[in-house]
Structure 1
Amino acid sequence: GLVVPVIRKADRMNFAEIEKEISSLAKKANDGSISIDEMAGGTFTISNGGVYGSLLSTPIINPPQ
């Protein structure tokens, strides 16, 4: 299923710190070791279907966003 991790306090991070957090959360998601707490509390989600070669995609709203 869809796994949507949350980057906390991103407003206080520089791009390198955000990239490290993305990598860390992606590894946990791929390993199946990500926790519910790491996926809760998001305010908005950014998706990029273009990495899969698609031209159009349908956004999925993750409640309660």
Structure 2
Amino acid sequence: MSDPNYIKKQAIRMQSAQHPKAKEDAGWRILSNADEPGLSDDGTLTQKQMQKAESIAREALKDA
């Protein structure tokens, strides 16, 4: 079950991240919390997964 507050926190972190790895880490955490299947154990994301994380982040911040 996903936690909207955690996703919102990670969305803010993702939006403000200066380093690409920090942004990717926040995206991975968003997808992990949203029970996204197929996530790597090393915290890396495919381009498609990153786009999905960005979409979830936008929705979380829109509802804020």
Which band: TM-score by shorter chain?
A: 0.3 to 0.5
Larger helix fraction of residues:
2
- Give me the TM-score of the superposition, normalised by structure 1: 0.37
Greater relative CO, 1 or 2 (CA 8 Å, sep 6+): 2
